[in-house]
Structure 1
Amino acid sequence: MDEKDKKDLYKEFGIDNPDEFFEGENDREAIRQEILGRIQATKEIHNQQRSKPGLKRNLSMAAAIGLILLSAALMLYYQNSGPQSNYITVVVPKGETREVVLPDGSTVWLNAASTLKYPKKFGKKRTVYLLDGEGFFDVIHDEHVPFVVDASGIKTNVLGTSFVVKSYKKLSTMSVSVVTGKVAVSDDRKQLSVLVKDQEVVYHKDHRKPNVVKVKAQEKTAWNSGKVILNAANFEDVILAVENAFQVKIDYDIEKFKNCSTTINFDTRKSLTDAMETLKDIQGITYQIKEKEVLIVGNGCN
């Protein structure tokens, strides 16, 4: 089949540009649903035609078979030649952490509810993508090949050092904390910050203005050993940490608690009740646990 015939076939099934159809980082599930939807629609047409003899039924059957074959071909095309084929994606569920060894031997510890994408083989740059979550990166030094973590449009550039990037989609901020060495942080337009050991930069996702603070960066990796240490953290950070550690959903009045700054330590190897009791003592909340849901009430910090 030549290219013209292929394009005509794509258009017959509503696909004007197959390259655009497969475009994007996270489209695999969307494509699967699109294909299933088109197959189902064609089956419904076929079912409506079943009682009609002759040409219409034959055409309906042919269309159904053609669509299924096309769908299979499209999925094969996506898997074998799409943008995902040269990448590995690691998804860590709630309640777990995971170590990932990258192609250059660098390691990443991913916190609960995190997603990392990285190439099967590095090129002139060692670029990885923290699509969601938090990771502790321990990067092997290579002065000729920079290492870049891309998260929420913010890029952390290093030659070899260790640092934490926190960029959960549910949070209004993202941060970079340096455990050893030095890192440069930038967006698509300019360099935003240069950090050294025990410095952290926090960006609000709305305005991207950097706020650099002094921290004990090693504490930022405590979740890797089952402990959560949060100092002067937004209440939303605390809630997400509890949700991810204990695999629960927490309901609370966001407006009431949005101005709360909380310092808390808890052990993820202990019970949810232990963590909630600690939060109760610190923040003055009351709570109710019902299976995998927690309801928090209180006066907040307005």
Structure 2
Amino acid sequence: MQNTEPAERQWYLAAKALSSSLTSEEQMEWEAFTRNEKFRHDFEQLKKHWNVATTLPYADINKEADWEIVLGKIKAKKPTKQNFSIGKIWRVAAVITGFIALSIIAWNVGFKRNGQAIATMIQAPKGARTHVVLPDSSSVWLNAESKISFDQHFGKDNRDITLEGEAFFDVEKEAVPFQIHTADFDIEVLGTAFNVKAYHNDDVLSTTLIRGSLRISKENSSGTVDQVVLKPNEKVVLRGTPQERLAQSFALEKNIDGQAEADWKDGWLTVRGESLQDLCKKIERLYNVTVRFEDESLKSYHYTGRIQQLSLEQVLNALALTSPVMFNVNEKEVTLRLNKSTQSKYQ
């Protein structure tokens, strides 16, 4: 059970009730909350709006009206070479207040002009994650600062999606191929579950297959096409800057824990031998902050471990407990500096 403030807990459970994902323990807690007449009334009003919105065709969604109603009801809160293990973070986290964030989904719809197709965009902003069911009944989980877009023919003439960022897909099998286009590569699949990490400015892009099969292809700067067919628990990786990736070929990794690659959609923050510099990119997206290094040497520290649904302060405290890191948070800026008094413990 999350140790959030009562009001925040109410709306956290409200979101799960609307998506029919309450556990048996949460169901009992939810029933207790709904005995409050005022809260029950507010929830019923929100539920009416939710039910109406889910029956609208994509082109009829009123983004501004939806946004105002949801924000009026839910108080959204931010989600909250040496190697170091952060496995012991759980022992610390057990006595620290828990934290959960409510994801916000942003819809942007472009109407037909000059004969061009209608485009729908679904976005998870910084500090949020979201889940959506597409017109063909496929499910997509979007990580922070990610978005997908598709046209009005999706599910009929095509199943083409453009992705920026990271997403987990659980695709319904149909005769029409499901295709994902990123700035660096394309993916084609008939029915499968897989994770795609394609933040264009990151130095490492990847696609991991959970089940089924899929084909990934990219055109190199030389004009040749690099193509890989993935089997379950295999992963392709593309490294380098956006410019360097034009000449790079896919690297294939086998015997991957596919489920672990996508555990972010279940609220986990996972790192596997990642540098503090790369970890901070995740932190910036998850908590909508900017991280500044006062000491450049900190960027080379590496971490392994996984923690769930912690606030920004708790994650930073975990880093401070397992490496010589000190931090300061000033609104949306985090400053990291070397803790010289503990540095010798990690050399």
* TM-score normalised by structure 1 residue count: 0.65
Larger deviation, residues 292-301 vs 96-105: 292-301
Shift of 1:200: 1.4
Q: Does 1:158 align with 2:189?
A: yes
Q: 1:107-165, CA deviations, whole angstroms, 9 ceiling, x for partnerless residues?
A: 111011111111222355421000x21100000112x3211111123011111100011
Checking the alignment, whether the CA contact within 8 Å between 1:184 and 1:191 is kept in structure 2 is no
Could you tell me which of 211, 216, 230 is aligned with 2:257?
216
How far, CA to CA, are the matches of 2:315 and 2:334 in structure 1?
A: 12
Q: 1:242-269, CA deviations, whole angstroms, 9 ceiling, x for partnerless residues?
A: 122222111127964565543232323x
Q: Does 1:184 align with 2:215?
A: yes
Checking the alignment, whether the CA contact within 8 Å between 2:117 and 2:152 is kept in structure 1 is no
Q: Does 1:127 align with 2:160?
A: yes
Checking the alignment, whether the CA contact within 8 Å between 1:106 and 1:138 is kept in structure 2 is yes
Could you tell me which of 174, 194, 208 is aligned with 2:229?
194
Shift of 1:190: 2.0
Secondary structure, aligned partner of 2:112: helix
**Structure 1 pair 150–83 and aligned structure 2 pair: CA distance change class (3 A):** farther
Unaligned runs of 5+ in 1: 1-77
Superposed CA RMSD: 2.7
How far, CA to CA, are the matches of 2:140 and 2:295 in structure 1?
A: 32
How far, CA to CA, are the matches of 2:214 and 2:294 in structure 1?
A: 37
How far, CA to CA, are the matches of 2:292 and 2:338 in structure 1?
A: 12
Paired positions, count: 221
Spell out the pairing of 1:208-287 with structure 2 (5 A cutoff): 208-213=248-253, 214-252=255-293, 256=297, 259-268=300-309, 270-287=310-327
Determine which structure has more spread, i.e. the larger CA radius of gyration: 1
**Structure 1 pair 275–285 and aligned structure 2 pair: CA distance change class (3 A):** same
* TM-score normalised by structure 2 residue count: 0.57
How far, CA to CA, are the matches of 1:276 and 1:84 in structure 2?
A: 47
Larger deviation, residues 223-232 vs 120-129: 120-129
Tell me the percent identity: 27
Letter in 2 for 1:87: A
Paired position in structure 2 for 1:294: 334
- Which has more helix, going by share of residues? 1
Higher relative contact order (CA closer than 8 Å, sequence separation 6+): 2
How far, CA to CA, are the matches of 1:197 and 1:171 in structure 2?
A: 25
How far, CA to CA, are the matches of 2:217 and 2:301 in structure 1?
A: 29
**Structure 1 pair 287–267 and aligned structure 2 pair: CA distance change class (3 A):** same
Q: Does 1:108 align with 2:140?
A: yes
Unaligned runs of 5+ in 2: 1-109
Secondary structure, aligned partner of 1:265: strand
